[in-house]
Copies of this chain bind each other. A is one copy, B any other.
Amino acid sequence: MTDPERRVRDSFAKQAFMTLLGANLLRVSPGEVDIELPFREDLAQQHGYLHAGVTTAIADSACGYAALSLMPADAAVLSVEFKVNMLTPAQGRRFLAMGRVVKSGRTITVVRGDVLAFDDQGETRPVLAMLGTMITASGRGIAD
């Protein structure tokens, strides 16, 4: 395991909210991170679909860690902002959030994220698209 990968996996393990959701960190490559989430009924909104806050949360974590994987060792990552489009109602047995770095800069990293839904028949559908901005935080008393 490379140092950037270990760093991302160590930080992810500290995201208590990902544990609460039951999310798992899958692939970690430079600028690319995948997070998986099995559906659970207590993650749903009123129509039984996965809550937009949940799909957004795993996309945000995947994008943040994709950005972190390219940051200097003494920096931490913070989300500045993101925008998401819900493409179809988030129905599925399992969800996959893919975070990718679009442009990596010294201070600002632009990221995009996609969340796919997998149903029982193995069919895949895109349910969310994200475009966001992460910042390299140094000297703020936080670490990753």
- Chain A contacts to B: CB under 8 angstroms: 11-12, 14-20, 41-47, 51-54, 56-58, 60-61, 76, 78-89, 102-103, 107-108, 110, 112, 126, 129-131, 133, 135, 142, 144
Contact = CB atoms under 8 A, between A and B. Distances in A.
A80 B85 CA distance: 6
B60 A52 contact: yes
A86 B80 contact: yes
A18 B19 CA distance: 17
A133 B131 contact: no
A27 to B, nearest CB: 19
Given A20-B42, A52-B60, A131-B131, A107 B110 contact: no
